[in-house]
Structure 1
Amino acid sequence: MRMLRWSAGVTKLDKIRNEYLRGTFKVADIKEKLAEKRLRWYGHVMRRDEEHPVRKALNLSIPKRGPGRPPSTLLGTINKDMSKAGLNAETTQDRSSWRLRSRRADPK
């Protein structure tokens, strides 16, 4: 956001909201962009063969932890992103469909 504010010549004292600046420059929110990149990577990995090391690493079991909130995992975050976007794992095999449905972050 600092770079956008600098480009626009706006400071925090001007009290202009970040959403307005992102809309002016047609830049997506960073959360949406990160989710898009994670889904893009996940589709790439899932199209590889079953014996590929990265694909095997996704199926590794997670050891039990002590008390407290368990840390979030990459696969858990990807599953949340997929449910938000209305995608499922079978869609990853069709590259053009996956690409069309997983890319949403760039405003028009």
Structure 2
Amino acid sequence: MTVYVPQVGLDEEEKKSFWEILDKVVRGVPSSENIFIGGDFNGHIRSSSLGYDDVHGGFEFGVRNDKGMALLDFARAFGLVVMNSNFLKKEEDLVTFRSRIVKTQIGFLLRRKRDRTLCKDCKVISSKNFVTQHRILVMDLVIKKDKLRQGGKG
């Protein structure tokens, strides 16, 4: 699932509606299913996990703001982890939005805590071929293949 949090300038009711809808969607995913949430959360979660050790790996940059706290609270409520906070990177490799004025990290990838070991890396792909100010954020995963039963049908 991908998300795009309402931007600056929209009223609080619209922003609240986003979190309520996302909450409803995530509640609808059975706990036995894998879940991937990624997108522009338009918030900053800070370089320190301070108070959010259960959902934040401690590797980010910037200063936490209200939108970042909302993301971390959401992750905690659903047993998720902000995966790209779990890998030590140079600042340049954390930037998910860059303009002439600002460089920041507002793109995040979330997974259930129990599945965190399947993620081997999260990284930003930067290229001069991309026209957008948003940079691509990817997750390297190990996918386990179910074993086939020996002898018998099915």
* TM-score using structure 2 length: 0.23
The structure with higher relative contact order (CA 8 Å, sep 6+) is: 1
* TM-score using structure 1 length: 0.29
Structure ranking higher in helix proportion:
1
Larger radius of gyration: 1
